[in-house]
Amino acid sequence: MEFFLGNCIDQLDFMESLVQPDLLRTRIRLWSEDETALGHLLPKSRNILGAVLYRGEVPRGDAARVVNAGERQARRIVSRLLDAGVLVSESSRAPLRLAFPAALAARWMPGLFPEKEDSRRWVQT
């Protein structure tokens, strides 16, 4: 039993060193700011993401209060985040939860997956 629990703790420590959960919120916030600057997300998107990160989920009815805007603007912000694949919801009335899209794994959790090697490096000329 001690061996098993020791291995579990070792694996948890290893995964924590790869994911760096204490920096996850910062990486997601920076990503949302970049996406907003590029016009892919609407301003205040990071407010929704921050609330979801803090609470685990956000009821859709709270979105307007979280972004300090009207219902229509809150729906637009949430819609863009859903379209981007960073939020999920079981239905149009269900709470919003954070998703971890594979396309953002390198940005949100660097080091978790090995970087792709440049295949040209191995081509002999």
When pLDDT is cut at 50, 70 and 90, the band that residue 125 belongs to is very low
Determine contact, residues 105/21, Cβ cutoff 8 Å: no
Instruction: Mark 56-67 as b/e (b = at least 16 C-beta within 10 Å).
Output: eebebebbbebb
pLDDT at 86: 95
pLDDT at 114: 67
pTM: 0.77
Tell me the C-alpha to C-alpha distance, in Å, between residue 32 and each of 25, 35, 51.
Answer: 11, 5, 13
The domain limits of the chain are 23-108
The average pLDDT across 24-30 equals 90
Mind listing the pLDDT tens digit for each residue in 50-98? 999 999 999 999 999 999 999 999 999 999 999 999 999 999 899 999 9
Mind listing the pLDDT tens digit for each residue in 91-119? 989 999 999 888 888 888 787 776 666 55
CATH architecture of the region 23-108: Orthogonal Bundle (1.10)
**Rounded distance between C-alpha atoms, residue 37 and residue 23, angstroms:** 21
pLDDT at 117: 61
pLDDT at 124: 52
